[in-house]
Amino acid sequence: MPVWIDVEGRDKVVILTGPRSRKARTIKRDPRVAISIIDVDQPQASVLIRGQVVELIDGDRGCEIIDRISRKYTGQPYPLRSDRIVLLIQLDHAQAVTFG
């Protein structure tokens, strides 16, 4: 499923989701994640990330991160002020891959 993503510090990434989404429920059972990032200008190039969710962030801190991510993708703050959380992911492994 496509998600908005951003970096947090030197070795973490953040994504946002709904607190009752399947993704959030699954993370609570097993915090391991794998993310594939595709370059829209070069679809054969991607980055593969593996890590673990180390924190679920909500409240004012969550809204600040969500607004930052939203500005990156839309140029505007995120329109909803509730029903969103941030998943803070500690990177275990990242690898650039080119296909073709």
The string of pLDDT tens digits covering residues 89-100 is 999 999 999 887
pTM of the complete model beyond 0.75:
yes
CATH code for the domain in which residue 71 is found: 2.30.110.10
Domain extent for 28 = 5-98
User: Considering its fold, how many domains does the chain have in total?
Assistant: 1
Q: Extract long-range pairs of 50-53: CB within 8 Å, 24+ residues apart.
A: 50/91, 50/92, 50/93, 50/94, 51/12, 51/13, 51/89, 51/90, 51/91, 51/92, 51/93, 52/89, 52/90, 52/92, 53/27, 53/87, 53/88, 53/89, 53/90
What's the pLDDT at 54? 97
- Per residue in 62-73, pLDDT (tens digit) is 999 999 999 999
What's the pLDDT at 15? 96
